[in-house]
């Protein structure tokens, strides 16, 4: 006799762990092993160093300097978020006049950056025709706010930080995109816009993310602000499935 699992339809629609079943008072051995594997992937995402050479090579002639925060090592990065927001003094950045600075930051998942960051840049820049874009900076041991100091040093009016997000138990490779108008030290999160969970095929695709970001950027320039007062009205979002 064939038994239909009522949870299968829901499992097929989400990466979340639902309807796992049990063995006695605990999870089955198979689910425990899958959970342990996911936990290991999340830890690896946090602790694995970014392959900087590969990212710079993929950027080609768009690549700019590689900089660091004031963090000494990964342990300090996890313990001192404040130092991850401050630019090391020997950064070597040169001030110019740019509409936009793009910063690729390792954050909490180098895997997300390695897998998705350059593809987002590839999808976004053609949508910003006529904009003056600074060479793309790669930032190590970086928090989101480090992009503010980088862009200020470059003389950019806006900064986009593409950063590895905190890994979840089903999403070790999620990339976040943070947009800040008039970046400078001291900006707070309420002054930014974020497009999260960029990680096709399980999250937002590159073209969809680029469309939302470009729409937000054009509106940010028109209104000269980002953050809680700048809303994504949904006009740039892909249509819902029928």
The domains of the chain are located at 52-223
Backbone angles phi and psi of 161, in degrees to 5: -105, 120
pLDDT tops 50 at residue 177: yes
**Residue 238: which pLDDT band, with cuts at 50, 70 and 90?**
very low
Check if the beta carbon of residue 112 is closer than 8 Å to that of residue 175. yes
Annotated binding site for adenosylcob(III)alamin: 144, 165, 194
Q: What is the pLDDT of residue 235?
A: 54
Number of Cβ atoms within 10 Å of the Cβ of 202: 12
Annotated binding site: 144, 165, 194
Strand partners, 192: 180
Q: How far apart are CA 103 and CA 215, in angstroms?
A: 19
Task: Note the pLDDT tens digit of each residue in 13-62.
Answer: 776 777 677 777 777 777 777 777 777 777 777 778 899 999 999 999 99
Task: Note the pLDDT tens digit of each residue in 75-104.
Answer: 999 999 999 999 999 888 999 999 999 999
- Which two three-digit tokens encode residue 79? 């313990």
* CATH architecture designation of domain 52-223: 3-Layer(aba) Sandwich (3.40)
pLDDT over 70, % of the chain = 93
| 149-to-68, 102, 113, 186, 220 alpha-carbon distances in Å | 11, 12, 20, 9, 19
Q: What is the pLDDT of residue 20?
A: 72
Q: Residue 130 contacts by C-beta under 8 Å, 6 or more apart in sequence?
A: none
Q: Which residue has the higher pLDDT, 5 or 127?
A: 127
């Amino acid at each position: 006799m064939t038994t239909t699992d009522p949870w299968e339809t829901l499992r097929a629609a989400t990466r979340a762990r639902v309807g796992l079943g049990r063995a006695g008072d605990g999870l089955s051995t198979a689910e425990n092993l899958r959970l342990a594997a996911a936990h290991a992937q999340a830890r690896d995402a946090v602790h694995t160093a970014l392959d900087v050479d590969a990212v710079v090579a993929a950027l080609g002639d768009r690549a700019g300097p590689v900089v660091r925060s004031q963090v000494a090592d990964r342990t300090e990065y996890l313990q001192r978020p404040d130092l991850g927001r401050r630019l090391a003094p020997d950064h070597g950045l040169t001030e110019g006049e740019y509409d936009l600075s793009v910063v690729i930051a390792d954050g909490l998942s180098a895997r997300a950056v390695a897998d998705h960051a350059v593809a987002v840049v590839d999808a976004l820049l053609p949508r910003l025709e006529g904009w003056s874009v600074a060479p793309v900076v790669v930032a190590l041991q970086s928090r989101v706010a480090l992009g503010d100091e980088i862009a200020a040093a470059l003389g950019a009016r806006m900064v986009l930080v593409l950063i590895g997000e905190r890994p979840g138990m089903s999403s070790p490779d999620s990339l976040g995109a943070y947009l800040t108008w008039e970046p400078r030290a001291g900006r707070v999160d309420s002054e930014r816009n974020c497009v999260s969970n960029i990680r096709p095929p399980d999250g937002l695709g590159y073209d969809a993310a680029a469309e939302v970001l470009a729409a937000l950027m054009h509106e940010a320039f028109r209104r000269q602000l980002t953050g809680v007062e700048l809303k994504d009205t949904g006009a740039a979002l892909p249509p819902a499935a029928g």
